[in-house]
Amino acid sequence: MSAPRTRTARRLLLGSLTAALALALGSGGTVTAAPAPGPAPAGLREVMLVGNNWDGTADVIESTGDFSRIARIDVIPDRNRRMWEIGLNPVKLAFFLGIRQGPGEGHDQFVDDMYATPDGSAIVVSRPSFADVVSIDLRTGALNWRFPVSGFRADHMAVSPDGTRVAVSASTSNTVHVLDIATGKELGSFATGDKPHENVFTADGRYLWNMSIGEVTTALDAPALDWTKGDRRITVVDARTFEQVRVIDMRARLDAFGRKDLSDAVRPVAFTPDESTLYFQVSFFNGFLEYDVATDRITRVKTLPQNPATDPDRTTWVNDSRHHGMSMSPDGERLCVAATMDDYATVVDRTTLREGPLVQAAKPYWATVSGDGRACVISESGADRVTAIDFATGRAVASVAVGDHPQRVRLAHVPADWTGPAAR
């Protein structure tokens, strides 16, 4: 392919809401910031869902203020039946036990991710150890539907901007399934790199980005053995047809940037409001990188402080994560970073990349934005609590106790009068 044709193809495959993409598609559109948080739909209230992975529960907490707990939901009401099925299938049992001893750190993984339906009637949960996605009625606590993923483990999810579709990574089959959130019917799927992980819809719902992280449970963690981790890449697809429109191998971009020492396993990410810039964490690294979508290149790197108490043995870091969790303030001016193995979180100025106070936190595993957009909310998986950090000051402003090993935290809506599932 000639150089001019290569450049044209690259422009046509940029994939996001950047000005370059708009021009390439002939839309003439302009790039706009993400909408600011608004009032809850009529009859609903805004909350936060906290997935307690080892408990098999989801705590529902206030989305602002003191973040107090409203209720707790059992997300494995069918546990006995699932365990019976697993016990009868030697292959399923082997993977179930492998998840317990590998990514589960000796525990079963019962909730990785969760979202609420647009009408607030149910939550949809990915359950790694049960290799499925389920919908749970918020009034009764009963299952509405269940979708077994391909392979033997379900992982991160993403919900479309209109709330009608949910994407889930099936990590052992290198597949992402996209489901109707109301019925559980599969709308489509697409192939990814090894061990698909994070999923992100673009703000217009047109594209879906998936980040595969490769093998993270092996002890082959020395930089010289990085090649053993598998095919790690970002896969961008059309969110309606599930056709692949772009593949981004960060290995080449990292090498071009002069960081051959860094892993190309992309972990949590955060887009700027106009989706022109992507910030991402990679395995083993105490920091993050900045990637310009239009020019297809890494532009800056930020190294964050190391905790001197952190064991330098990379094989002791959970699932190859040194830092795992990022979010961005709605105005795009600040990043919040969960420094998982270094036991802190911090707010970083996006212009200068200068970090604020290091807020002590016990194995923080995720970072999201509060309902009013003023705070970053982190899950402290080592202390069984969530903590809110003010974006403006970088200081902790609230903490609330939750269940065993909280991980994903998501904004949601529930009925205004809801106080928890009815006793059964």
Per-residue pLDDT tens over the stretch 345-404: 999 999 999 999 999 999 999 999 999 999 999 999 999 999 999 999 999 999 999 999
* Structural domain includes residue 395: yes
* Structural domain includes residue 330: yes
Domain containing 219 equals 42-415
Which tokens is 97 given?
A: 């036990």
Per-residue pLDDT tens over the stretch 69-97: 999 999 999 999 999 999 999 999 999 99
* Structural domain includes residue 233: yes
Close Cβ partners of 157 (under 8 Å, ≥ 6 residues apart)? 112, 113, 114, 115, 124, 126, 133, 166, 167, 168, 169, 199
Per-residue pLDDT tens over the stretch 178-212: 999 999 999 999 999 999 999 999 999 999 999 99
Domain count of the fold of the chain? 1
* Structural domain includes residue 83: yes
User: Residue length, the chain?
Assistant: 424
Whole-angstrom distance between the N-terminal and C-terminal Cα of the chain? 65
* Structural domain includes residue 386: yes
Mean pLDDT in residue range 91-112: 93
Per-residue pLDDT tens over the stretch 25-37: 333 332 233 344 5
Kindly state the helix (H) or strand (E) to which residue 145 belongs, with its residue range.
strand 143-148
Close Cβ partners of 344 (under 8 Å, ≥ 6 residues apart)? 305, 307, 358, 359, 360, 361, 364
- What's the distance, CA 315 to chain centroid? 23
Q: Tell me, what CATH number does 301's domain have?
A: 2.130.10.10
Give the percent of the chain with pLDDT over 70: 91
Mean pLDDT in residue range 283-295: 97
Q: What's residue 41's pLDDT?
A: 83
What phi and psi values does residue 385 have, to the nearest 5 degrees?
Answer: -155, 165
Q: What's residue 9's pLDDT?
A: 39
* Structural domain includes residue 102: yes
Q: What is the chain's mean pLDDT, rounded?
A: 91
Mean pLDDT in residue range 263-292: 97
| Residue 254, SS3 per DSSP | helix
* Structural domain includes residue 21: no
For residue 8, the one-letter residue type is: T
The answer to whether the beta carbons of residues 307 and 322 sit under 8 Å apart is no
| Residue 315, SS3 per DSSP | helix
| Residue 4, SS3 per DSSP | helix
**Is the per-residue pLDDT at 56 higher than 90?**
yes
* Structural domain includes residue 346: yes
d(CA 304, CA 98): 33
Give the percent of the chain with pLDDT over 90: 83
**Is the per-residue pLDDT at 13 higher than 50?**
no
